[in-house]
Structures are given as structure tokens and as C-alpha cells.
A and B are shown apart, each in its own frame.
Chain A
Amino acid sequence: MNTTLDYLRGNRKFLIKDFVVHGDYSSAEGGLLYAENLPTGKRIIFAHTYIVHNHQQVIFGNLYDHKENQLPTQLNSPKVIILPKNDVHCFLVGTETPIGFNIAKNEPSKTGLVDLLIIEME
């Protein structure tokens, strides 16, 4: 592993201007009881989950940067930084994946407006 080389090779940056956020944040808290069947025995499992829904799913390949260039369909270890452009609070839901991210706002009656700075970290 060469962390310096990784650092130098990554770091592509994309600025997405005037991105409209329409997804809302809401979550469902749930519990599951189930069994995991292994040859050594059956295991009783409790799972406690928060399922976030109504957020906005964004695919990198569907975005265009400020120079009208379409983004790659996959980015290595992407990081998305939100730059607010109006008073609606917008935030990422979960973590970025190589193909996209989820974003939401916390005011259902309004629409968020942001610039997005997307950085490929590796």
C-alpha cells in the first residue's frame, strides 16, 4: 500500500451548481426477530433497524458539472460536500457509494437549492 501515491492519483473534483433537493427525510424504526440456521445450530437474532425513506437517490452518472461535463458513472471513495444556496437545510442520508448518494431536506413544504462539491478521494 502506498498512501502517498493513492493521494496523488485520486482527488478528481466536480462542482454541480444549482442542484435542487426535493427528497424528504423520514425514517421507520423497526425490530426483527429471526433465526440464522448454521450447521452448528440455529441462532436467534434480534435486529433493530432505522429505515430511511422518501430521500432522493442521486446517481453520479446522471449529473453534469459546472462545465456541462457528465460525471463518470463510478467514483472511487467519493465524498460529497453540500454548499447551501437557500435557507432549507439539506444533508446526506447514509454514506456515499461508488455510484451515487442519497440526499434529503428537513422541510417538507420547501425545496432545497445547493451546489455540490464531489471529490474522489482515491
Chain B
Amino acid sequence: MHKFIDTSTAFYTTGISPGEKLFRVKSGIYSNRIVAVYSDSANTIVYCHADPPYNEWSDPATITDTSANQPCTAYMDEDGNIHLLFTATSSHDLKYLRLTFNAGDWTVGTIRTVCSAGDNYYPSIVREEDGDLWAAWCYFDSDSSEYSIRVKKSVDNGVTWGSGPSDIGTALSSVSVTAGYVAISIVGSQIHAIYCANRNSLNHRQSPLSEESWSDEHLIYNSSQIDDKFSVATSRDNKIGVAFIAPTVPGACFKEFDGQNWSGLYVAEYQDNYYPALHYFENTPYIFYTRNIGDNQYAIKYCYLNEGVLTDTDYLFEGMKPFDTVFVYDDSAGNKFYDRTSEAENTAAADIYHPNSSALVQSTGDMLYVGMDSPFFYIHFILSTVGSGGTVNYAYWNGANWETFVPYSGAYHLNSSPANVLLGPDLNSVPLNWQKCTVNEIGKFWVRIKVTSTFSTPPVGSQITAIPESQYINTIANA
């Protein structure tokens, strides 16, 4: 299922890859309730929740409206309480909030200051079984204009961190002139920090929980501009995995730490990938990420490690990928149908047209068919020539007739580019009576775009897919 739950005007919305925003209540009568934490606007962090099958989400509830327009992160403990770290607006202090879970909902506590020195960004938080909290983040020393990764601890439920707000904690990385990113996790009796402090090197350090004593820095992988493009998760058998995007490979990669050694490099695919998210189902690591298909088109793909080998990658949603078949139809041509499937997928300019008209569509009765084996909700148009003077209508096959509709995003007459046409708010809301039918001997779920008045300047297409720009992927952190 693919469910639209809110809009956001924040820059980071659902946050950067090392952070965590999605959690599942694991026990009690609210077991399997899922809660999402995200930035609703530049200064506001909210949460909303849903119960299986997750079709209905609560209205967003404000956690704080004092956040900078920066990514936040959170952690859910065994009792369903949420521990949130965020950067405060103006001061850029690092702040902590506890959301106490009671009777199915969360009560926001008092804001505490983790660090008030310098500027503080990109936090990560974990909690020991005994309740002690650890925070790691990127600290900016405004005197030296240098960044470093820092870590500090609270032994009083987040009221006090280290020796107090002015304590900048323990340095995990050397200083850098560029911002760094970190994710911390607890495995057994050790806390692990995986971080990229200089844009290029992904490093690992660990310390016993009982006494803070960090191991030497271990290089996991060196590339260029890894930055925040990494995601860390732990398995039930106490492995730590990291999925990351290495632009020098290039592509989505994975490595795993078994407590002693790091594995070799696994490459999911050698493509232009972004926004990794790692999740262990039991002990099997699943790597989610986006793949750039063209301008503003990032499709979510995934693969998993099976018997020591990453599986072939696949699109997560059958209805959010390049179209399976694209036909242009010229009503006045001898050969009315022309297959432009590969041209619609690739980024080459001005290659989606009917040879008779040299246009995508032109005259009344001309049509564009886009089809898939599964229903879809979105069409992304890139046109080399935008149309003018003409109009089109949209239709799907309802089992008996072509049923015309106005897209959810409003009428679009191929008169601007790029254009994003939402047929409905999400994949969940496609018409229930939409059925496959045969067009030019091909059976698909089709959307037919038909010219209802002739274009004076007919459009020519460059790329047409069902792929929106997906970004900032989170998996359920505590599943």
C-alpha cells in the first residue's frame, strides 16, 4: 500500500538517511500501532499514527514548533516512549524531548538542552536497557569554523546530558571544514558509531556501554561525497549493517560488521542511486534506495542479501516505475499505433512522437496510451515542445467503457514541462473499477490521453514515466 498522509513545507521532511522517524509499538493492546515523526514545516515537528492496515492516519500532532529547518531523529523504547533530538531554531542548540506513551497516545514532555555550545546538527539517539540515553551529532565550533562528530550521555532520562549544556561531549572524529553525519546503535554491551565526518570516509568506532572508551577509528569505505547517504541497522543475531551510496562505485552499497570484522563490499547496482535505508527482517538485510531515472524522477528500489549474494534489484512498487508500454496513436495515419515504450523511459530529448505527425499527439482523436501491469497514480511528463491551443481528456477502462476523469492534480493539456499529473492522491486511491484491457493487442492497465481539440503547436515528448521524486526514506526502526 502507498498512502499519502500529509504535506510538508520543511526542507528535510522525513529526514536524512542516518536518522530514524518511523516506529512500531511492540506490545500491549496498541501493539503494531505505527507512529511517524516528521518535519511538517520549517520549525514544526509532528507525529501521527495508524493501526493495521494503516489506511487511516491520525491528524498530525505538534511535538514542537521551535525546531530549526534541519533534520531531527528519534528512538522508541520498549514501552513505546519516543525520545527525540532536534536542532533548535536560532540558537542551533541540540534539544531533547521525551514523548511518553500512555493509553495509545503520546504526551510531549519538557524540552531539555543536550548541547548549547556552538551549532549542532544531524543528531542520532539510542537508549540502553537501563534507560541511559546516548546522543551523537555534528558539532560546529563557531570560533574555529570546524565541524566534528560528538557523543554524550544522559543518566537521568534526558534531563542532564554529560556535565551540562555547555559540555560538547566526546569527539569521535577529527575536525573538518565540512559538516559530518553520524548514526549510533547498541549491540550487546557495546555502543557503535558509524559516521562520515569529511564527506568521503565512512568510519566506525565502538565503546563499552559500561565505561566510555572508544576504539580506534576503522575505515569502512572511502569514496567521495558519501555525506549523509548512509543508513545503519542491526540484526537479531547482533550484526551491524550499513547501506550507503558511494558515488565513486557508483551505486548503492552494503557492508556488514559481525562483531569482529567488516565484510567485503556488496554493490546493489551500478547506477545513480540516492537515499539509502537499511532494514533487517530477522537476520536478512534489505537495502532500499532510490534510483534516478531522469530529472525529478527517483524510483524506490530494493534488494536483499540471500546466501551471501545480493539479489537482483527490483522496484518496490509495481505501479511506480517506467511504463511497461507506451503507444502514440495518430488517427489519420495508416499505421495508427506506434510503440514508444523505450523512448518514454530514456532521457533522450524529442523522441516520443508519431512518425506521421512528428508529434506526441496533434489532432482531435489522436491519443497517447500509457500502460502497466499494475495500476498507477502518477505520470511525469518531460516535453521537448510544449503543446498549445489544444486540449486533451484522460480516461481509464472501467471494464465496459473508457471512463473520462479530471486528474486529482488538475487538468493538464500537455502545455507545460516538466509536469506532474496525479491521477489520485496515492496508489491506494486508484479507481476500484479500473481494469486491464487490450490496446493494440497489449493487455495493461491503461490511461488514455485523447485530443479533444486540435493543437496549434503540438507537443513532442522526451520522457514519460510513473515515477515521482521519492526522497528521505525511513524504514521502521524498531520492527
Chain A interface residues (CB < 8 Å from chain B): 1, 3, 6, 9, 28-49, 51, 53-54, 76-77, 95, 97, 121-122
Contacts and interface: CB of A to CB of B under 8 A. Distances in A.
Contact of B22 (A1, A32, A49): A32
B177 interface: no
Contacts, number: 136
A79 B465 CA distance: 27
A120 to B, nearest CB: 11
Residue with the highest number of chain B CB atoms closer than 10 Å, among A34, A43, A54: A34
B442 interface: yes
Interface in B22-63: 22, 24, 34, 36, 38, 50, 53-54, 57
Residue with the highest number of chain A CB atoms closer than 10 Å, among B4, B24, B317: B4
Contacts of A45: 2-5, 426, 470
B469 A38 contact: yes
Contacts of A37: 296, 468-471
A97 B3 contact: no
Contacts of B4: 43-45
B96 to A, nearest CB: 21
B3 A32 contact: no
B311 interface: yes
Q: How large is the interface on B (under 10, 10 to 19, 20 to 34, 35 or more residues)?
A: 35 or more
B284 interface: yes
A112 B14 CA distance: 45
Given A6-B438, A31-B34, A31-B479, A47 B3 contact: yes
Interface stretch (B136-144, B159-167, B299-307): B299-307
A76 B288 CA distance: 31
A12 to B, nearest CB: 14
B7 A43 contact: yes
Contacts of A54: 306
Given A44-B38, A45-B4, A35 B442 contact: no
Contacts of B50: 46
Nearest to B444: A77
23 contacts: A28-B286, A30-B479, A31-B24, A31-B34, A32-B277, A32-B316, A35-B14, A37-B469, A43-B6, A44-B4, A45-B5, A45-B426, A46-B3, A46-B34, A46-B50, A46-B54, A48-B54, A49-B1, A51-B286, A51-B302, A51-B304, A53-B284, A122-B443
A32 B300 contact: yes
B18 to A, nearest CB: 15
Nearest to A38: B420
A28 B316 contact: no
Interface of B: 1-10, 13-14, 21-22, 24, 34, 36, 38, 50, 53-54, 57, 275, 277, 279, 281, 284, 286, 288, 296, 300, 302, 304, 306, 311, 316-317, 373, 409, 420, 422, 426, 437-439, 441-443, 468-476, 479
Residue with the highest number of chain A CB atoms closer than 10 Å, among B50, B281, B439: B281
Interface of B is mostly: strand
Contacts of A38: 420, 422, 468-469
Contacts of B277: 32
Given A30-B479, A40-B420, A48 B437 contact: no
Nearest to B22: A33
A35 B5 CA distance: 10
A53 B306 CA distance: 9
Contacts of B284: 28, 53
Nearest to A39: B420
A119 B9 CA distance: 51
A11 to B, nearest CB: 13
A33 B14 contact: yes
A34 B470 contact: yes
A17 to B, nearest CB: 28
A98 to B, nearest CB: 9
A44 B373 contact: no
Contacts of B38: 33, 44
Nearest to B1: A48
B474 A44 contact: no
B13 A53 contact: no
Residue with the highest number of chain B CB atoms closer than 10 Å, among A1, A46, A122: A46
Contact of A42 (B9, B24, B53, B479): B9
Residue with the highest number of chain B CB atoms closer than 10 Å, among A36, A38, A41, A77: A36
Given A6-B438, A76-B442, A77-B443, A44 B54 contact: no
A59 to B, nearest CB: 12
B60 to A, nearest CB: 9
B473 to A, nearest CB: 4
Contact of A36 (B1, B53, B469): B469
A33 B468 contact: no
B372 to A, nearest CB: 11
Nearest to B439: A1
Given A30-B479, A44-B36, A45-B426, 5 more contacts: A42-B13, A46-B57, A51-B304, A54-B306, A95-B373
